[in-house]
Amino acid sequence: MKISIFGLGYVGAVSLACLARDGHEVIGVDVDPWKRDLIRNGRTPIIEAGMDTLMAAAVASGRVQVTDDATSAVRGSELSFVCVGTPSRPNGSQDLRALERLAAQLGDALRAKAAYHVFVVRSTVMPGTVDDVVIPLLERHSGQRCGSDFDVCFQPEFLREGSSIHDYDNPPYTIIGGRSDRGVATVRRVFEHLPREVKVCDIRTAEMLKYACNSFHALKITFANEIGRISQAAQVDPHAVMALLCEDRQLNISPAYLRPGFAFGGSCLPKDLRALCNLAGRRDVSTPMLSAIADSNRMHLEHAVELVLATGARSVGMLGLSFKSGTDDLRESPLVVMAERFIGKGLAVRIYDPHVNLSRLVGANRRYVEDVIPHLGSMMSDDLDAIIDQSQLVVVGLRTDEVVAALQARSRPDHVVLDLVSLPRPETLRGTYQGVCW
């Protein structure tokens, strides 16, 4: 394929060398004459394992051209990768000036081209940037229509500096965010030889995914380091702890706990997190990330409460009360806290939870109910249908077949349904559906 690459920094230079190696004819474009000269002479503009030999071979193959002329590069290629930098401004927001300038240039270049063209944004950009900034600039400057005359895809780049050639050839997967089958199919041709799956999604999902991945990586590093500092202070070997933590592929290194949903609670996580933060505090170990977890969890619960209060509903049916479906444990259940907040605001609350039978609760769970929430008993009912019928708003904290079927049968156009559990097929419900964070 004939491919142009705009921006010859880490991402662009590695892509250029790898694409030429794979047999494509590549035109590299950069505003920096120093980088252009280096590449033209078969030298790498970045320090990266294997790049010296790869770039020398790529240029020697005769399949690499370098220019600063965007118009000739767009005309001479069928697909363009956009790899310009998107640095931080002092307030953390993204500086899109290079991308905006380039999108305008690419649009101008496209004006003179009749053949179909695909642009692939690989720079890391905030969700909505391609739809709201890049495509409008391309359309305005080219006078052409995205989706017919040209297409734009977003393909997040997962390479890591230091191992970028290896990562280019072995990505976790290839993600193509696109609006049209034709655009996606064109990008797929470039990457389908890689040993990993190609996954197609919409552009905003692909844009957000890159931030979710990088934040997750940063979170993992910080987590391991905070556990390290607490372990050090407690004379425990953090390497042994983290190595064993990683061996649990069921709960730890797995998709468990990684689905957006409701706040956590129960008799273990809040208590043990508090104890760990307390230990850190006593040893003068600062652990801002671990210490912020409880606050974030509280904010998530508060967000759900605010969603309900904002509707103006006066009667709320709560389906589910215990901290987790299938248990009767009410200790530190976020649904209990939610019910308390509604009662405090004077709402009529009715609660259904088939696993919670107040007369049968025992031990610490019973003491918790008697001491902390003695009044909730009178609000509980096992008549699921009646609770749905008599409530303006239904908070769904239980994802059983019975609850799903009752909601599908009895939801009304004037109902509001607040979903905390990712109900299946929410479009089949009547009324206003609202996910807690979706």
Ligand X SMILES: NC(=O)c1ccc[n+]([C@@H]2O[C@H](COP(=O)([O-])OP(=O)(O)OC[C@H]3O[C@@H](n4cnc5c(N)ncnc54)[C@H](O)[C@@H]3O)[C@@H](O)[C@H]2O)c1
Return the active site residues: 268
Q: Which residues of 168-179 are buried (b: 16+ CB within 10 A; e: fewer)?
A: beebeebbbbbb
| Positions in 152-191 near ligand X (CB under 6 A) | 157, 159, 161
Helix H or strand E encompassing 234: none
8 binds ligand X (CB under 6 A): yes
Interface size with ligand X, residues (CB under 6 A): 25
Number of residue whose CB is nearest ligand X: 9
- Taking the complex as a whole, the smallest distance from the CB of residue 164 to ligand X amounts, in Å, to 6
276 binds ligand X (CB under 6 A): no
81 binds ligand X (CB under 6 A): no
β-pair type (79-82, 117-121): parallel
Among 124, 129, 155, 297, binds ligand X (CB under 6 A): 124
| Positions in 10-69 near ligand X (CB under 6 A) | 10-12, 29-32, 35
**Smaller CB distance to ligand X: residue 138 or 159?**
159
**Count of beta carbons in the 10 Å neighbourhood of residue 398:** 24
- Taking the complex as a whole, the smallest distance from the CB of residue 326 to ligand X amounts, in Å, to 42
**Count of beta carbons in the 10 Å neighbourhood of residue 148:** 10
- Taking the complex as a whole, the smallest distance from the CB of residue 169 to ligand X amounts, in Å, to 15
| Separation of alpha carbons 106 and 138, rounded Å | 7
**Smaller CB distance to ligand X: residue 83 or 436?**
83
Nearest Cα neighbor of 370 from 330, 342, 327, 318 is: 330
Alpha-carbon Rg for the chain in angstroms: 28
Among 44, 65, 80, 123, binds ligand X (CB under 6 A): 123
| Separation of alpha carbons 29 and 100, rounded Å | 16
The answer to whether residues 38 and 45 touch, using CB atoms and an 8 Å cutoff, is: yes
User: Left, alpha or beta for 431 (phi > 0: left; psi -120 to 50: alpha)?
Assistant: left
**Count of beta carbons in the 10 Å neighbourhood of residue 16:** 32
Per-residue tokens: 101? 């300038």
**Smaller CB distance to ligand X: residue 83 or 356?**
83
| Positions in 87-116 near ligand X (CB under 6 A) | 98, 101-102
Per-residue tokens: 128? 């909505």
Among 4, 7, 73, 154, binds ligand X (CB under 6 A): 7
Task: Considering only the stretches 6-14, 17-25, 51-59, 245-253, report the one whose residues sit in contact with ligand X under the rule CB under 6 A.
Answer: 6-14
Task: Considering only the stretches 120-128, 373-381, 406-414, 422-430, report the one whose residues sit in contact with ligand X under the rule CB under 6 A.
Answer: 120-128
The answer to whether residues 233 and 296 touch, using CB atoms and an 8 Å cutoff, is: no
6 binds ligand X (CB under 6 A): yes
- Taking the complex as a whole, the smallest distance from the CB of residue 31 to ligand X amounts, in Å, to 5
Among 17, 38, 84, 165, binds ligand X (CB under 6 A): 84
361 binds ligand X (CB under 6 A): no
| Separation of alpha carbons 107 and 133, rounded Å | 12
Q: Which residues bind ligand X (CB under 6 A)?
A: 6-12, 29-32, 35, 83-86, 98, 101-102, 122-124, 157, 159, 161
